Amino acid sequence: MEEDLVPRPARVRKLTQETPDTRTLQLELESAEAGSGFDFKPGQFCLVSVLGTGEAVFCVASPPALESAFDVTVKRVGKVTAAIHDLEIGDLVGVRGPYGNTFPYQAMTQRNLVFVAGGIGLAPLRPLIWQVLGDRERFKDVHIIYGARTPEDLVYRYDLETWAGREDVHLVTAVDPGGERGDWTGEVGLVPRVLGKVNPPSDSMLLVCGPPVMIKSVFATATGMGFKSSDIITTLEMKMKCGVGTCGRCNLGRRYVCKDGPVFTLEELESLPDEF
């Protein structure tokens, strides 16, 4: 347990400004400390610390193929995230993890997949999407439904452009009503409503992440469309602090998001206290 609490040093290797208040950092473990590298699977998370400021939880947002390097996408919302936004290439941070369970990749094979994300909620789904597309022949139809308040709030626009150009991906992007601009050609509407309009096959596996209110609304829309609760999967980062189940901050009844999650099916969540 003690080794789980000791941060490993990592340096900022690359910075990408996604939106005015959100940026992606590519971090690389220091070679002397890397060991076997940063070995993670889609769905897992880590904690990033800035000396003298504190640490915060972030999903791992990159495809699991960068060896000792990995991405975290950070929205500026408080003291720690503001300090992370002030970092420059070459700066040193501490990293703990990866922690948590993963998306059920093997159970997803030979299934239709529907990815539904809102805002920065695309970050935890991004590694899984790239893993699926790198193994495309093992899956049936792939739908990606992604929305944000305005076009300027869409993250990973370079990925969206690539996915839009693929014939084996059905990508739908949307902005909230009132957020459209004169040149916007995507959908206008809240993500749950767009999901209903797209109407993907109800025998698909649906993977969703975004603001809690959006997730809850997608749950209702999807079950109303005939999706099984065992086939609706989300990932939660809410309230996590220590990452290893010692602080008790992220408990959902008898379960802990950090140790038993952060990936849960709707079927699992239905047996736990409603935290949305």
Residue entry with tokens 């509407």:
189
Give residue-wise pLDDT tens across range 4-48: 678 999 999 999 999 999 999 999 998 654 455 678 999 999 999
Question: Please, what CATH class does the domain formed by 105-269 belong to?
Answer: alpha beta
Nearby residues of 50 by Cβ (< 8 Å), 6 or more positions away: 80, 83, 84, 87, 93, 94
Domain residue limits, the chain: 2-99, 105-269
In this predicted structure, what is the pLDDT of residue 34? 44
In this predicted structure, what is the pLDDT of residue 25? 98
Q: Chain-wide mean pLDDT for the chain?
A: 92
Comparing 62 with 240, which gets the higher pLDDT?
A: 62
Q: DSSP string of 110-159?
A: TS-EEEEEEGGGHHHHHHHHHHHHTTGGG-S-EEEEEEESSGGG---HHH
H or E element, residue 43: none
In this predicted structure, what is the pLDDT of residue 65? 67
- Sign of the Cα pseudo-torsion (205, 245, 276, 55, in order): negative
Average pLDDT over residues 97-116: 96
Enter the pTM of the model.
0.94
Give residue-wise pLDDT tens across range 205-254: 999 999 999 999 999 999 999 999 999 999 987 678 888 888 888 888 88
In this predicted structure, what is the pLDDT of residue 133? 97
- Number of helices (H) and strands (E) in the chain: give both, helices first: 9, 15
In this predicted structure, what is the pLDDT of residue 66? 60
Supply 147's token pair.
């929305």
In this predicted structure, what is the pLDDT of residue 158? 96
In this predicted structure, what is the pLDDT of residue 178? 92
2-99: CATH topology: Elongation Factor Tu (Ef-tu); domain 3 (2.40.30)
Residue 67's pLDDT band, with cuts at 50, 70 and 90, is: low
Give residue-wise pLDDT tens across range 146-162: 999 999 999 999 999 99
In this predicted structure, what is the pLDDT of residue 3? 58
Average pLDDT over residues 246-270: 89
Residue 42: count other Cβ atoms within 10 Å of its Cβ: 25
In this predicted structure, what is the pLDDT of residue 276? 58
Supply 49's token pair.
């610390």
Residue entry with tokens 């993250």:
155
Comparing 245 with 91, which gets the higher pLDDT?
A: 91
